[in-house]
């Protein structure tokens, strides 16, 4: 019975050319540790790295060199051939999430409740990446808190709302010459 199940399972995978049987090293095979260039949306490709992390790999997009979002993210293997799932966290949430003036967490300059601001800074960053010829691309999903106004006779602040965003994330190996 176990042999019959194994034959059926093997046949199913053989019929589906887009399937693979991922293992703990699949992500590192698709995007091995090293120096890369990363870009979000229309932003220019800038330095980033992929580092070994246990049996897998992590993407590090550093702060301070022009990236719109700084993050550290696991690249998780997938049974879908040449695809990875990115699961990350912000490493500099102030670039994406509203901060308040020092010592004034309830100031009118703050957008959202303290709980919503905390949720923004700790939100998971998620993307499904397709890898082709060593270049990975996918849609990174995240949200921001945006102020809301009533533009009647006078402009009046009426609160905030969560705005969901998706931007194309590109991860490309850095050439030996640095371009």
pLDDT tens-digit profile of 64-81?
A: 777 789 999 999 999 999
Task: Judge contact between 43 and 67, C-beta under 8 A.
Answer: yes
How do residues 96-127 score in pLDDT, each as one tens digit?
Answer: 887 777 777 667 677 888 888 888 889 999 99
Q: Is residue 84 part of a domain?
A: yes
Q: Is residue 178 part of a domain?
A: no
Q: Is residue 63 part of a domain?
A: yes
Q: Which two tokens stand for residue 120?
A: 């923004």
Residue 143's domain comprises: 25-102+109-173
Burial of 5 (0-12, 13-18, 19+ CB in 10 A): exposed
Q: Is residue 14 part of a domain?
A: no
Q: Is residue 179 part of a domain?
A: no
How do residues 153-176 score in pLDDT, each as one tens digit?
Answer: 888 888 888 899 999 999 999 987
- CA–CA gap between residue 68 and residue 125 (Å, rounded): 13
Q: How many domains does the chain have?
A: 1
CATH number (domain holding residue 157):
2.40.128
Q: What is the pTM of this model?
A: 0.79
Q: Is residue 16 part of a domain?
A: no
Q: Is residue 98 part of a domain?
A: yes
Q: Is residue 15 part of a domain?
A: no
């Amino acid at each position: 019975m176990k042999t019959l199940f194994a034959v059926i399972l093997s046949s199913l995978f053989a019929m589906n050319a887009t399937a693979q049987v991922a293992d703990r090293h699949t992500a590192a095979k698709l995007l091995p540790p090293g120096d890369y260039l990363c870009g979000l949306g229309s932003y220019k490709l800038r330095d980033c790295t992929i580092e070994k992390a246990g049996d897998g790999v992590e993407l590090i997009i550093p702060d301070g060199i022009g990236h719109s979002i700084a993050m550290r993210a696991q690249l998780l293997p997938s049974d879908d051939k040449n695809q990875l799932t990115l699961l990350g966290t912000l490493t500099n949430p102030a670039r994406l999430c509203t901060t308040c003036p020092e010592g004034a967490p309830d100031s009118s300059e703050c957008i959202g409740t303290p709980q919503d601001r905390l949720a923004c800074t700790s939100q998971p960053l998620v993307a499904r990446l397709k890898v082709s010829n060593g270049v990975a691309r996918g849609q990174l999903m995240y949200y921001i808190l945006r102020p809301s106004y009533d533009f009647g006779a006078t402009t009046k602040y009426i609160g905030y709302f969560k705005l969901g965003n998706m931007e194309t994330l590109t991860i490309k190996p850095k050439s030996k010459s640095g371009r």
